[in-house]
Structure formats: C-alpha cells, structure tokens
Structure 1
Amino acid sequence: MFDFGNANTGQKRAITAVNGPVLIIAGPGTGKTFTLVQRAVYMIQEKGVKPEQILIATFTDKAAKELVTRITNELLERNIAVNIKEMYIGTFHSICLRFIKEHIEYTRIRKNYRTLDDFDQTYTAFQNISRFRNIENFDIAITVKGAWRQSQEICRYVNNLSEELILADDLKGDDDPAISALGDILSVYNCILNTNNIIDFAGIQTEAYYLLKTNPEVLEELQSKIKYLMIDEYQDTNFIQEQIVFTLAGKEENICVVGDDDQGLYRFRGATIRNILEFPTKFTEKDCKVIPLTINYRSNSEIVGFYNKWMTTTSGAKFRFDWDKYRFDKRIIASKSSQLNGSAVIKISAEDDEDEWHESILHFINTLKDCGKLKDLNQIAFLFQSVRNQKALDLARYLEKNGVNVYSPRSDMFFERGEVKLILGALLLTFPQYVARLEQRNFDFTDENLCQYYESCIRTLNDYLQKNECRPLLTWIRGRGKTHFNLTKNTDYGLTGLIYQMFEFAPFTSILDTELGSGVIDLRPARNIAKLTEIIGKYEYLHRVEVLTPKKIEKDIILFFNMYLRFLFNGGIDEYEDDSEYAPSGCVSFLTIHQSKGMEFPIVIVGSLSNNPRNRHDNILTEITEKYHKRPSYEPLDRIKYYDFWRLYYTAFSRAQNLLVLTANEKTREPSKYFSECYSSLKSNTDSAFNIQEFDFEEIKNVNIKEVYSFTSHISVYETCSLQYKFFKELGFTPIRVGATLFGQLVHQTIEDIHRAALRKEAHLITNNNIQQWLLSNYTTLSKSEHTYLGEPQIMAALKQVCRYAERQNGDWSRIQEAEVEVSLLKQDYIIEGTIDLIRGEGDTVELVDFKSEKKPDIFKDVEKLEHYRKQLQVYAHLVEKKTGHTVSKLHIYYTGEEDSNPQITFPSNRGAIDSTIQEFDNIVQKIKKKDFCTKATSQITCNNCDFRFYCKN
C-alpha cells in the first residue's frame, strides 16, 4: 500500500492520475511541490515506471534542485535506488540542452559551442552592430539610438521571433519595411550564431524543437525512453515550450501540467496564459482530468480571504474589466480559520514625507524585535515590482544605516559596494595614463556618470591609503603604475592577474579571510570580489587579453573601462544568490514580486502600490503575430494590462503566511486608485485593534538542497588544496585562463566520435579518413572556443594517437557497451556523480576505461599520480555497480601516447579497496559541508601555479 503521507483528497487524485492528460490547478500554498514529488514516487514505486521514463520540467534552477532533493529523499526513505542522472529533471532550457548534447550531430551547432547569457547575447550583437546597421530600413525597425540600446532591441526582437517559431524568410517579403527589416536582422543574427558556433538562451529551445521535428529517429528514440511528462508552472510556458511538450508526448499523451493561471507573470518573456487555460481542450482521443487544489496550508485565513477578494474586485473608480474565459473560476480555502482577535492584514502608512515613511517601517521592525515575537529578521520580506526603483533603494539604505541588514541581491548596488570601489580604484591607479585622460575627459566616447563613478572609486581608495597598514598596497600600486606607464615588453599577467596580486595586501587579505560560516552580509564583500574576477575574466576571454602588451595596453584598458564596464555599470549587476539558502539569517529580504514566486514568508510587506496597469505590447510584434503566428491572438489587448496587474499583486499577497502588510507613503499619490478599496479598509499597524502579541510567526523553512559532488571537480580539488576549493568552488572566483589542454581534449573528443559511431552500429565509418575529418572538425571548434591553437606537428601527433587506438581494436567494437556515461548515486545528504569514458564487456561483467593522451608513466616513479587515477576509477566502479547491478571486473587507464608497449595500466576491481575509497570520498564531502577549509597544498609546484599564491604569502 502506497504511503500518501498527509495528502488530502485532491492531492491523492493528482498523485494517482498517472495515464493520459492531467491538469492540476494548484492555488498558492496548496502543496503543489509535495504533490509533484509524491506523484513521481508513486509512479516509480506503485506503477513500476522506470525513473528514466519520467521527465519533469520546471521554471528555475532552484525549483529543479529542490525537486531533485525531495524526490531522492522520498526514494531513499522507501529504499528505492535510482540513477538520478537518468531522469530528465530540470528547467526547460537544461533539458533541451541535454537533448542537444545527446544528439549534437543532428543539430546546426558543433561540439564546444558557447552558450550566451543575456549580457553575452547583447554584447555579441553590439560587436556586430555595423552588420545590422547596413540592413535596409534598419532604422525603421530599430528606432532607438545608440549602439548598445540598438543591440538590446535586436536581441529582444530575435528572442521573441525565435520562441514563436517565426522564420526570417517568412518576414523578408513583407510589405511593411519594418517587418521585412526584422527578417533581415534575424537572418544576419542567425548567421553570426552559426559562424561562431554559439547558441543563445532562446535558441536552446528552438534548436531542441527543430531537432525533434526534423529527425524522426531522434524523436522516436526519446519517445521510447520518456513515457511521462510533468510540467511545473505551466502558466508561465510559451509557445515553443508547449510545442516541445506535445511533440515529445506523442500519441500516448501522458502529460501532467501543474500551475495556477492566477500567478502567470512572465508575458514579457513570451509566456502565454492560454497554454494552461486551453490545455483541457487539446485532446481528442482522451479526456483530460482537471484536478483543482484549493486548500491553502500556508496563510492565515484572513490573508486568503484578502487575496481571493482582490481577484474578484474587477471594478472601481474609473476602471472596469471582466475575466470572462481568461481565468479558471476558483476560490482558495484556508485549511483552518484564523484564531486572531485582530487582523492579519494591515497597512503601514505615512502622511507627511518619505522620511516619515522610512521611520514608520523601521519602528514596525523594531517593535517586532522588541516584543520578542521575531526570532530572526529573515522572517520579514519586502516585495516590490522592482528593487532597483529609487524608493526601494532609499528604504534599503535607510534600514541598513539604522542597523537592519538588507538582503537584496538584485537591487543594482554592486558598484556601490566599498570592496568593489576599492578594487576598481586600485586597478585604475595602476594605469596612470588612463587616469590622466580620465581627468581631462580625453576620450572619443565616454559617459559622464561613469567618469564620476571612477573618480569616486579613486577617492575611496585614496582615503583608505592614508592608513599606515596600507603602505604596502600603495607601494605596489606605484610600482605597477610605473611599469604600465613605460611598458616596453609583455607582462606575464592580464587584468585578472592584477586583481589576484592585490590579494597580498590589506584590506583584501582580511576580506578573503572571512569564514564561510559567517552571515551573508559578512561574506558579501568576498563574493563581490569573486564576481569582479568573473566579469574581468569574461572581458579577457572575449577580447583575447592574456597579458598586457606595449602595443595593445592603451586600447585594451580604454575598451575595458569605457565600453565593457560601462554597459555593466549602466545595466546593473546582480549580487550573489544562494540557491541552498531560502532567506539568509540576520537580514530582511528585498525581493521583486517575480523573484518571490514559489516562496513564502511569515511577514510580507508589499510596496510599489503607486503602480498602475500599463499597456506593454509592441506594435510590430503584435502585427507579426497576427500575420505569421501559428495560432491567432488570445487575450483581448485592451484587457491584458489589467490581467497582468491583478495576477502580479495576487502573487505578492499570497506569499504571506502569518501577517500581510501593505505599505504606502500616502502623500506621494500612493496607493493608486486600483488599490484604494482594499487599502483603505485596512487597520494601521498603530491602531489599537492590531495586537502584535497575538501572533506566533513561523520560522523560515529549510530548503535543504542536496549538492552534487564528483571526484574530479570536487574531491580532487579539495585534496590538492582546501583553500583553492574555498575560493574557486564555494566563493566562485574565476581562475586566470591559461593555455587550455587542447591536445588532450582533441584526442579525447575524437575517440568519443569513434565510440559514438560504434554504438550507432556504424563501425564501417571508423576509417583513417573519417577519423581525420572528425579530428579536424573538433580542432576547429575547440580552437575557436578556447582561443588557443596547435601547430601542424601537434595536430598530426594527435591524429596519430587516435588512429593508433582505432587500429589496435582490429575492427572489433562489439564489447563497447556505453561511452561518455554520466552516472550518479544518491547518498543520504548529497549526490555522487561522474562521467566514465568507456564501459566495455559482455553480459553482466564490465570493465571501465579512462583515456589519457600521454605516454604511460613509470609505475614506480609516478605512484602518487597512478593512485589518484585508481581512486577515480574506483569511484566510477562503485557508481556503475550500484546503478546497473553489473560486476566491474577491471579498471583500465589507456594511454594513447604509448607507441610500442601495452598502452593500458590495469587495476583489479577490489570490493574492499572500493569501499575504502568511497569512505574517503564521504569524509571529504562532510568536511566540505562543514566549511572546513584550513588545509593548504603540500606541493610547492601546486602553490607556484596557483592564482592565490599572493594571498597565501600572508
């Protein structure tokens, strides 16, 4: 008998409705994630569905990690072993990337492609802006001025068109010059992607869609594996996501979608509410089961009543609209009635000025603290439409000034942080020729606000350099400045290298000394410096800056400060967010309403009440949709602004568990008329009817996300130097790019091509000519991706190694079972994963092979290296045996560089030795989880090659 836990009747219906189409309409706080988790476990345990037959797509990486953690915990409790890698659990984009990776030979992209984030995409368009501007009628389609803003518009249009599956050729012949120009823009943009072997965020889904639609054999293979689809947050899906879902489901139509039409927030990203509203009508052969979840376990019943009323109040002073068919009729029911005499929904207002409003909020927080009802500031969340709005920023600064820490990673305060200004100030002063031009504003293109910011960075640093303990930093800056001013030969460092050199000196040394167990505010400076290394490292990659040279130093520095950093400065940078931490202890959270989706807080304070519904549709895109979209428009254009506005604030109000607060500075036309009815009826926090002593506030829930660890990426790094692990793995510092191991990657990828051909039953293709073609193709994409090159003799040496490996098989590939195998194993509090180069064997007994593109080492002189490889293979053996039940008989290291003797070193697969290695693995993971990073490398060679060698001097 399946254990349903505390599932209610509706949840049980949803859990057991396995076959055919199912729509679960899950209102806020109704146990949606619990239901999804139990449904997956029910399918595996009760219905015998194999884990690899289930696909679960959700909206964010954080939600995907939580699902993986909760599903694996449930399975472990029930003693069910699965390889979580075999399940397709993730965001739509991560699942689509997996489809592409597994079938890359069927796509337009090649191996070693680069995926663009939003900034990378805009920067790519910017770097090619002259190509776009040469398009006829470009200025009619793209009406904004300035290269960067034009690049942003280009990306907005191509993303929308891609996700609606509208092709460039469809638009080019249009009579409207703006639309035909957009067709040419899309064509040029796609050409840039193809030439550079890159893919953007929207293109991930487009590529996956065409992979499925144009390759029946790939679709058939995936449909034979994936039998059940579960799609979370279905109200936020777009057209292409719907098409991918229905294409994958095929005739079986085992699609379960979960969502709440009242919380559809992502129209600006192409989402359409029609996907969830029309879902039950999509099926002709089978009836769609519609299961509403309406019992709310999150919020006080008065809060539930408040947001229920909000959704049904559709008329007021000078406004009126109807939901009609564009909303499922529902009413959320609180699981229990409020026991309060007073109200659980109140307002905090000010009638004078902003200062009074700030003081009122601070007073409220201090009252909560003083009365002993608040256990932690993280029980309070402020929700705004934008945390970059000046009112939100001013409030955050006021609270922090008055002793209330604020966690607001998306508030655009990165460049204001003291540590960032100190680093940039020091970096600027190491280039005196640039500072001289900055003072005179002697640049061809610049931004006065940015210039003033740079001058403030220099002032911040100069103030700091007055301290005695800063003399060493001052001496270093002067020395580097002198070198750069009279640079006569190449340095052995670039801009990121300069940052790492600063870590030898105060105050940066003490910032990096911060213990990882410290609070988010204490760790913020170290994380922001890590973010800066990522930003600068990306610039150096994009512009191929490895070292500073006399010929290019001036150009590289001006390009970095005046252009690259300017775009980031004007656009804003998010600070660090920890997926494993729900709301950091010791801070109130400042979140956008979108950011708070799926979250809950004991006390929620909703601002941004001066807002009004606004039309946000684009006339050109609207016309394109009418002409070229695969289906007609849905919601009435004149009502969309109301629908989106009501859904946004419904989502905000429904985040609150115990106390919902609406706040407004009433002197500044707050709240707007759309809130006047619900706001005016509320009691103030200063009203005698409101008694804070009545409340017992929930504590913030523990997310408890299971982290993933592998031998090469985690255990090996920690064993080499736990300090390196702290900085690179925990804090996210970006290593300085050195010459990549291009030769080894080239050999490895071409051997993978051989194995893939053999596994496709195409061993006849494994000829020297084809191997050469595969290798040269791999070299082209690798060298472009890594910005590193090999000479002709090295390429020929790599080819010789791969051909020699193929020849040694004598045409017999029959023992190959799997190649590049990703395996994972659930542990109680983490997940082990690894990628095995080759599994070969017969029947239930297999051997593991790991390839090294070097000569076989001396087994007596290189004991330490071989022991490291042995442990790696033992971890893989453990994963394979647990995953498949097969016996691993031998562990091989295959050295492709070995010409004459046996190229393999073989270890026996010994159960006792494997168990011992796994125990070591577990011990190291526990040290990592305890933030134990006190050991340093024992090898001087390791230290000499480490980016943090300057920091470790002290």
Structure 2
Amino acid sequence: MKNFEKEYKKLNKAQKEAVDTIDGPVMVVAGPGTGKTQILALRIGNILLKTDTPADSILCLTFTNSGVRAMQKRLNDYIGSRGNGVMISTFHSFVFHYLIKKHYQLLGFNLEPKILSDEEAIFLVDEILQENSWEYIRPRVNPEMYFSELKQMISILKRERLTPAEFRLSLKEDIKNLQNDENNISSRGESKGKLKKEIEKKIESFERTKEVVEFYRLYEEKKFSLALLDYDDILEYAVKLVEDYENVRADIYENYQYILIDEHQDSSGVQNDFLKGVWREIDKPNIFVVGDDRQLIYAFSGASFSYFEEFSHIFGKGKTKLITLTENYRSTQSILSLADDLLKSSLIDEKLRSNLKENKKGQVGINLGEYAYPRDEIIGAGLYFKKKIEAGIKPEECALLVPRNYNVRNALEILKNMGLKVSSGKDISLFDVKKSQSLIRILGIIADPGNSILLSESLLDKISGVDTISAHKFLKNIKPDKLTIEEMKFSPKGMSLFRQDNAILGWGSTLERFANNLSDKNILEIISSVGNEILIDQAKNHEELIENVEVVRSFLHIATLFEEKKKNATIVEFLTYLKRLESYGSHIPLATFESDSGIAVMTLHKSKGLEYKVVWIAHMNEEVLMSEKRTAFALPEKIKEHIKERDVLSAKRELYVAITRAREYCNISYARENYQGSELKLANIIQELSKIHFSKKSQAETEKEILSFSPAVYTPKITKVETDNLQALKDFVKENYFDLKISVTLLNNFFECPWKWYFRNFLRLPEVKTKSLALGSAVHRTIEYILKDKPLFDRATNISRVSLIKEKIKTELEKENVNSISELKKLIKDGEMAVRCFLDDFYKNLA
C-alpha cells in the first residue's frame, strides 16, 4: 500500500474529506480536473485499509467502458492485487450480468436473454418496417425517412416507462382535449362552429403518430419473443426486479456493503429508481456518488439535473453529506476563468482554482479567431497544430473539437490533405469510405454479372487498374446500358490483345473469374477473396495496407452478424441489407485499429473525460451550435415535455466540457459566412462573455496568417496525374462534342452540373431508377398496354380487369429490378390505384 500512502499525502483538504468519509450517503460535486478518478480509487483503498470489508463487497459503477478501464488501472497502481476483487463495472453491464441473467425467469423469459447490439437493433427495426404495410412511417417516395427517428422514439418511450397502450392513451387524451377546448373552435366565417384549420392539422398529425404506436408494439413483442434486450430494457427490468422481489434486493445489499458511482450527473430517473429500489429501507446506505452538474451533456439519453440533485435528499433530508472539489490540477487559470464565466454550478458557489503555475511568458488568454468560411477555420487549426508540433508538442497532445459528426468527417479530410496525422476513433462511417463503395460494387457484379450500371461504374473506379482516359473513351464508343463482361474482354480497336497490356481486358477477366468462382460461396468467403485480391494485395505502402484491411474486416464483421441472423444467406440478400443500412443513414463505424497516434478529431460530446495540452474548438457559430433536428411526429404533451430541446443551457454545458479539456492552450474559432454565402454569427453564449478572456483575431488577420504560410493551402492537393487527366478529358469532349444532339434537357443538366452532363448526356452512363420512377414507368406501360388493346379490355369483367392490371404492374416492376416482396406488394397497390384513377377520370371518354 506504499503507493496508496504516497498518493494520499498529495490530496488537498476537500479531497481527503471525500476519501476519509467512508460511511453513509456522500455526494461529491467535483469540477473538471479536480481528481475524481483519483479520489474514487483512493477511497476504495481507504475502505480496505480501515475496515475488514472484503474487496468483493465493494461495487464501483460508471457509465462507460473507458471509465471502467481507467478505474481498474488507477486502483491497481494504488493498492496492487488487493483491488482485484473489487467489482468495477458499467451500470448496464452490472445489472444485466448479476441481476437479469440470474433472475430472467421472474421477468417472464423462457430463455436467458441477450443484449441487443446497435447492429442487431438495425436488423430488428428494418425487419418490422419491411414485413408490414405502413402508410406514414415508411413513405413510398423515401421509405428510409423515419428510421432514425423511430429508434430514438422507442428509446424515449422506454426511458419514460411508457407501454404502447399508455402511449396510445396519451394520444387519445390529447386529441380529445383539442376537440373539447372552446378556444380551438372557429367563431367566424364559413368555418364558424368548427375546429380551426391548424387544430385539424394537429389532430391529423396525431393520427399519423398512431402508426408509431403500432410499430412500438411490434418492436416490443418481437424483441421479447427473441429474448433480446435493448439498453433501455436493461435498466427498466433491473428496477422491476428490485422493486417487486425482496430476495433480489437482499441479494444486492447483502453482497455489496459499499457502492461508489462515477459521473452521476449522467444518471437518468431509472437509475435513481434502481438505487431507491435496493436501498430504500436502509437508514444511511454507504453510497458515494461523484459528478458535476456543469458537465451534464447527456440530456438526450434521459439524464437531468433534477435526477443528479435528487440524490442529496433521496435517503432523507440532511442524511447525505455534500463535499465540493474546486481545486483543478489540469488547466491554467485563464482557461478555468473562462469556463466559470460561461457556466456556474447550480449546487456550489465556489469557482474553479488552478493548482498549476501558469506560464506567464506568452500567456495571452484564449484565442478567438474569425474566419471567412468554415473550411478556413480547419486550415487555420491545421497550421496552428503544425507550429505547436514543430515546437515540440506531440500530435497526440492536440485535439480539434467540433459540434457535429459531419464536421468531424470534413475536418479529417482537410487535415489529412495538409499532411497532418490524425486520429478519429470511431467517427468514420464505413459507407463514407470510397473503397467500401468499390467493394460493394464488385460484390454486386458477382451477384448480377449482367448489371451494366455496376460494370460501367467499376471501369471508372481506380481499383480496376484502367486509366481514366482509356475508361472514358471505351464507354463513349459503346452503348454503356448494354455493357457486358464479354464486351469488356473483347479488345477495343487499337488496344493490345494481351491481358497484361490491356487493362480493360484484364479487369473484365478478373470480374468474370469472380462471378464464375465465387457466386456459390458463402458471404464471408466472397468478401475475403475479393478483399484480399482487390484491396489488401494491391496496397502500395503500409499506410494504405492498414486502411484497406480496416475496410475488409469491417465488412467481415457485418457479414458475420448477418449470417448469424440469417442462415444460408445469399450475397444478394446481404447487398440488399447493406443498401438499406446506407439508405437509413446508419452509422457503421469503420473497424479501425486502436491507435491514438495523431491529432484527435472528435465532437464536443466525445471529448468528455479526455484532456489535451492544445485544444481548438471550431464552428462556434450560433447557426451551428444551436441547430436542432425537428421531431417528425406530433407527440402528446406527456411525452413532449421529456424530450430535451436544444436550449442555451445544454449548449453552454457542451462548450464548458470542450474548454476544460485544454491544459495549456485553448482556441475558439467561427466563420463569417457559410458555403452558400449566407451570413453567420458568433454564438451568443460566447458573445456574452467578458472580452478580457480573449485575444481576438479578425477575418483579415486570420486570412493574412494563412496566406503568409501559402495561398495553395486553401485548395486540396491535386496530383499531376489528376491535372493531366482533366486536360485530356477536356480534349476528349472537344473531339466528340459535335456528334451530340443538343436538347433543352441536355443544356439544363450542363447548367445544373457540368459533371452530371458529362456522365449522363456525353458518356450516356446507365443510372439506377428510384422506386418512384420505377413505379411511374410501370404505370405508364400498363396504361399503354390497356390502350393498345382497348376492345379486349372493354369486354373483360371487372374481376378480370383488376387481375390484368395487377399482373401487368407486377411484371413491369420486376423489369425495373424491384424484387423485394414487401416492396412489390406496396408498389403494386399504389400502381393499381394510379391506373384506376386514369380509368375513372379519362378512359371512359376515349373513343
């Protein structure tokens, strides 16, 4: 215990009080950098040192796996092997493994339940949407529109402990209240005595929301039948067990004499209900919680200040001891003063005090930079990081923090282009990686070797090995919509007959071999074979090899999960599933290798719990920081009041967390205009802060800084090969332009986007039709079919007519590659309705 004693002596007065107060409920309000993890670990050591409590009678709960790992390491450093028996776990993991798995039969399950992963949840939601007929939540024009919203809605309802029946009842009550409210009745005009138009629309939107109720019911039933639990279920079932069963409660409080909970501000009402459920009959339970109300940034997951504050009187007024930690060991005072000015605690009055000796030389407070455009901010950040790295600061000590995930993706691209090494964690989505699309395209060709669209696109892909100009000339001289692998293998005029000298012939042969040899293999074998040959074996250097392996193993992970859920699945079924995942906007993290090397780029949320010597906080515009996605469905007031709106306080908390990640250098930037030229302004919560905190730079000054480095930094690096290709393409268009037939559509496409004109009108590449276009074509051809043989159609009975229309629409949709049974069923219904409208409105007037 030598390390324990050594670290204990370093504690300040408030920290020692927290460590020494080992009995009764204790609540510690600990600001950032005040040593929360340290006091939790030392308190555990102190309990073991001063009492005869065995290590396995101590329970330490946190909210993330990284928090568990940090606590285990710190405990091992302080007390060595004596801490091995301490139960350190996330809240969810503990209640699942030690309550639910042990008592699942009490919850009505016949099988031991399993946790539903994020990927499996996508499967489940997708399955319900596909297998059922929906009028609103799966619109024909954009069937994926509400996918994310439905998942979020389910989570909200579960956290608020609302069943589908209660949800439906809330809707009915709100509709009834709207109908019975005298203020909602029109008092003049034609609508006098009737409901006002806006109220009718609101009631109509509630009717649409009823479909969400049905979806929720099916989701819950399917999940229960498969013995699957989502993360919200875990806590809900845990509360049910401890509230309803005395033996379950006794099992916990008899086994665990001391409970410590980290980051308690992230607790939801359900977690507090769990604590009350277990220890409600204990006079002064030994529960120790640590948190900071200013760092409560998970309101969207049910956390609330009221739940955090509730702990102070949860076991009786005056029984919980309150301890505050305000001495900071991480950041300079200028950083802490800015944080305090931005947001004060609602529980304590003291301000954060830095324990560090500030580097007065060159210390000018916080840099606040104004830039012309959002992209310029990231360029400015990149140049700043370069200077710091050249001055001896490691890239791993630098972080760029941004508000949204799409900001992360954009920033990564810009910094990489500037030659900076970056670390992005799990923020890169598989579908955003170009080589992922290359792999999907080849898998599609294996599934359908005659797909001219995929074959044409594959020739334009760098992994084909075909140079750009050769590919474009080849496609110009054939009919791309009739392209086959055989035609690719046929040597174009002027090209070598030998595969090694003719890249198009070689690529065609490779695709033919894949299609012949792999089509009957399982999905994992196909991905492994194609991934190894096309990506891994073709890597030009170690960095590219790592990137390519990450792509291949990401697909192997998804395929493994897919084959577990669907035995003997085909490559066609797998590709259909991937297409739906992408269209749903699902974030499938790229399976990157664990590496923290490079500048960290992440959202403000993700930065919580981390610290860096240099921090740059970008895109701090009012329009970005306060933006919020609107709820797609009208919600009952009972539910609506629990959905946290994007308010000023939540924005302040996010910025507070971001600022206090910095140890020495903190920069904030914003843009004057967006890319469309609309004016942007600095976030109000920053404008309200005292000017004494900042060293400001105007747009003119930041532009001068960037230009002094190099004007070329404003534009992405383009290799000489790409420049030469562009010139060659221009010459190619010049040579063939006069063969084109000019039309209004052609000109419109050119003015909309020259590249759109080039691929659609010049090369005439085939395109995939949307479901709406496919339906339109099917209806058009069905009407044409009816009109061509009008006398025969006139003689047919009504039953025969209906059958004929349905069969014709089905045949035409299948020609448009609509193969999904549920999709066909819905589109046939819509198509039949459209044809009937034509028959009712126009057909009878035709001679």
TM over 0.5: yes
- Within a 5 Å distance, the mapping from 1:98-109 to structure 2 comes to 98-109=98-109
2:560 aligned residue (537, 557, 561): 537
With over 3 angstroms needed to count, the CA separation of the structure-2 counterparts of 1:112 and 1:433, relative to structure 1, is: farther
How far off its partner does 1:50 sit? Answer: 1.9
Looking at structure 1, the residues matched to 237 and 357 of structure 2 have their Cα atoms a distance apart, in angstroms, of 50
Looking at structure 2, the residues matched to 250 and 650 of structure 1 have their Cα atoms a distance apart, in angstroms, of 35
Provide the residue aligned with 1:482 in structure 2.
516
SS of equivalent to 1:89: strand
**Which amino acid counterpart does residue 523 of structure 2 have in structure 1?**
L
How far does the alpha carbon of each residue in 1:798-835 deviate from its partner, in whole angstroms, 9 at most, with x for none?
xxxxxxxxxxxxxxxxxxxxxxxxxxxxxxxxxxxxxx
- Within a 5 Å distance, the mapping from 1:121-520 to structure 2 comes to 121-129=121-129, 139=136, 146-174=142-170, 175-176=173-174, 178=206, 184-252=214-282, 253-284=285-316, 287-311=319-343, 326=346, 328-343=348-363, 345-347=365-367, 349-353=369-373, 356-370=376-390, 372-374=391-393, 376-389=394-407, 392-417=408-433, 419-433=435-449, 435-436=451-452, 455=457, 459-463=461-465, 475-482=509-516, 491=520, 493-502=521-530, 505=533, 507-509=535-537
Using structure 1 for the length normalisation, give the TM-score: 0.59
Q: Are 1:528 and 2:545 matched, yes or no? A: no
How far off its partner does 1:556 sit? Answer: 2.3
Q: Which runs of 5+ in 1 are unaligned?
A: 313-322, 440-453, 627-632, 689-954
**Which amino acid counterpart does residue 624 of structure 1 have in structure 2?**
K
Q: Say whether the 8 Å CA contact 2:95–2:238 is kept in structure 1.
A: no
Looking at structure 2, the residues matched to 532 and 512 of structure 1 have their Cα atoms a distance apart, in angstroms, of 21
With over 3 angstroms needed to count, the CA separation of the structure-2 counterparts of 1:167 and 1:401, relative to structure 1, is: same
Looking at structure 2, the residues matched to 432 and 147 of structure 1 have their Cα atoms a distance apart, in angstroms, of 24
Provide the residue aligned with 1:658 in structure 2.
664
Q: Are 1:608 and 2:622 matched, yes or no? A: no
2:610 aligned residue (586, 599, 609): 599
With over 3 angstroms needed to count, the CA separation of the structure-2 counterparts of 1:590 and 1:511, relative to structure 1, is: same
- Within a 5 Å distance, the mapping from 1:683-694 to structure 2 comes to 683-684=695-696
Q: Say whether the 8 Å CA contact 2:41–2:71 is kept in structure 1.
A: yes
- Within a 5 Å distance, the mapping from 1:830-841 to structure 2 comes to none
Q: Are 1:647 and 2:653 matched, yes or no? A: yes
How far off its partner does 1:647 sit? Answer: 0.8
How far off its partner does 1:285 sit? Answer: 7.1
Provide the residue aligned with 2:637 in structure 1.
623
- Within a 5 Å distance, the mapping from 1:732-771 to structure 2 comes to none
How far off its partner does 1:216 sit? Answer: 1.9
How far does the alpha carbon of each residue in 1:902-921 deviate from its partner, in whole angstroms, 9 at most, with x for none?
xxxxxxxxxxxxxxxxxxxx
**Which amino acid counterpart does residue 544 of structure 1 have in structure 2?**
K
Looking at structure 1, the residues matched to 138 and 302 of structure 2 have their Cα atoms a distance apart, in angstroms, of 19
Looking at structure 1, the residues matched to 34 and 254 of structure 2 have their Cα atoms a distance apart, in angstroms, of 34
Looking at structure 1, the residues matched to 661 and 57 of structure 2 have their Cα atoms a distance apart, in angstroms, of 34
Q: Say whether the 8 Å CA contact 1:235–1:263 is kept in structure 2.
A: yes
2:75 aligned residue (65, 71, 85): 71
Structure ranking higher on relative contact order (CA contacts 8 Å, 6+ apart): 2
How far does the alpha carbon of each residue in 1:357-383 deviate from its partner, in whole angstroms, 9 at most, with x for none?
45433332232233x232x21111001
Looking at structure 2, the residues matched to 219 and 513 of structure 1 have their Cα atoms a distance apart, in angstroms, of 58
How far off its partner does 1:65 sit? Answer: 1.5
Q: Are 1:556 and 2:573 matched, yes or no? A: yes
Using structure 2 for the length normalisation, give the TM-score: 0.66
- State the identity as a percent: 17
Larger Cα-atom Rg? 2
**Which amino acid counterpart does residue 421 of structure 2 have in structure 1?**
N
With over 3 angstroms needed to count, the CA separation of the structure-2 counterparts of 1:593 and 1:261, relative to structure 1, is: same
Q: Say whether the 8 Å CA contact 1:350–1:360 is kept in structure 2.
A: no
Provide the residue aligned with 1:451 in structure 2.
none
How far off its partner does 1:163 sit? Answer: 1.5
Looking at structure 1, the residues matched to 125 and 212 of structure 2 have their Cα atoms a distance apart, in angstroms, of 14
SS of equivalent to 1:572: coil
Q: Say whether the 8 Å CA contact 2:101–2:113 is kept in structure 1.
A: no
With over 3 angstroms needed to count, the CA separation of the structure-2 counterparts of 1:424 and 1:143, relative to structure 1, is: closer
SS of equivalent to 1:331: coil
With over 3 angstroms needed to count, the CA separation of the structure-2 counterparts of 1:463 and 1:561, relative to structure 1, is: farther
Looking at structure 2, the residues matched to 82 and 557 of structure 1 have their Cα atoms a distance apart, in angstroms, of 44
Provide the residue aligned with 1:83 in structure 2.
85
Q: Say whether the 8 Å CA contact 2:75–2:83 is kept in structure 1.
A: no
How far does the alpha carbon of each residue in 1:102-128 deviate from its partner, in whole angstroms, 9 at most, with x for none?
223323334454422334324312211
Looking at structure 2, the residues matched to 684 and 62 of structure 1 have their Cα atoms a distance apart, in angstroms, of 36
Looking at structure 2, the residues matched to 512 and 214 of structure 1 have their Cα atoms a distance apart, in angstroms, of 62
**Which amino acid counterpart does residue 511 of structure 2 have in structure 1?**
I
Q: Say whether the 8 Å CA contact 1:349–1:684 is kept in structure 2.
A: yes
Looking at structure 2, the residues matched to 95 and 106 of structure 1 have their Cα atoms a distance apart, in angstroms, of 14
Looking at structure 2, the residues matched to 680 and 406 of structure 1 have their Cα atoms a distance apart, in angstroms, of 32
SS of equivalent to 2:369: strand
How far off its partner does 1:477 sit? Answer: 3.4
How far off its partner does 1:404 sit? Answer: 0.6
Looking at structure 1, the residues matched to 630 and 35 of structure 2 have their Cα atoms a distance apart, in angstroms, of 34
How far off its partner does 1:74 sit? Answer: 2.4
Q: Say whether the 8 Å CA contact 1:407–1:588 is kept in structure 2.
A: yes
Q: Say whether the 8 Å CA contact 1:171–1:182 is kept in structure 2.
A: no
**Which amino acid counterpart does residue 242 of structure 1 have in structure 2?**
N
Q: Say whether the 8 Å CA contact 1:44–1:51 is kept in structure 2.
A: yes
How far off its partner does 1:355 sit? Answer: 5.9
SS of equivalent to 2:613: strand
Q: Are 1:58 and 2:92 matched, yes or no? A: no
Greater share of helix: 2
Q: Which runs of 5+ in 2 are unaligned?
A: 176-205, 469-498, 675-679, 703-847
Q: Say whether the 8 Å CA contact 1:132–1:188 is kept in structure 2.
A: no
How far does the alpha carbon of each residue in 1:317-352 deviate from its partner, in whole angstroms, 9 at most, with x for none?
xxxxxx8xx554341111134231333533363544
Q: Say whether the 8 Å CA contact 1:434–1:557 is kept in structure 2.
A: no
With over 3 angstroms needed to count, the CA separation of the structure-2 counterparts of 1:171 and 1:145, relative to structure 1, is: farther
Greater share of strand: 1
Q: Say whether the 8 Å CA contact 1:277–1:328 is kept in structure 2.
A: no
SS of equivalent to 1:526: helix
Looking at structure 2, the residues matched to 563 and 457 of structure 1 have their Cα atoms a distance apart, in angstroms, of 25
With over 3 angstroms needed to count, the CA separation of the structure-2 counterparts of 1:473 and 1:50, relative to structure 1, is: farther
Q: Say whether the 8 Å CA contact 2:257–2:286 is kept in structure 1.
A: yes
Looking at structure 2, the residues matched to 457 and 56 of structure 1 have their Cα atoms a distance apart, in angstroms, of 57
How far off its partner does 1:92 sit? Answer: 3.0
Provide the residue aligned with 1:911 in structure 2.
none
SS of equivalent to 1:589: strand
How far off its partner does 1:184 sit? Answer: 4.7
Looking at structure 2, the residues matched to 305 and 438 of structure 1 have their Cα atoms a distance apart, in angstroms, of 58
Moved more, 173-182 or 496-505: 173-182
Q: Say whether the 8 Å CA contact 1:472–1:505 is kept in structure 2.
A: no
With over 3 angstroms needed to count, the CA separation of the structure-2 counterparts of 1:620 and 1:257, relative to structure 1, is: farther
Looking at structure 1, the residues matched to 402 and 654 of structure 2 have their Cα atoms a distance apart, in angstroms, of 10
How far off its partner does 1:475 sit? Answer: 4.9
Q: Say whether the 8 Å CA contact 2:367–2:697 is kept in structure 1.
A: yes
The CA RMSD over aligned residues, in Å, is 3.7
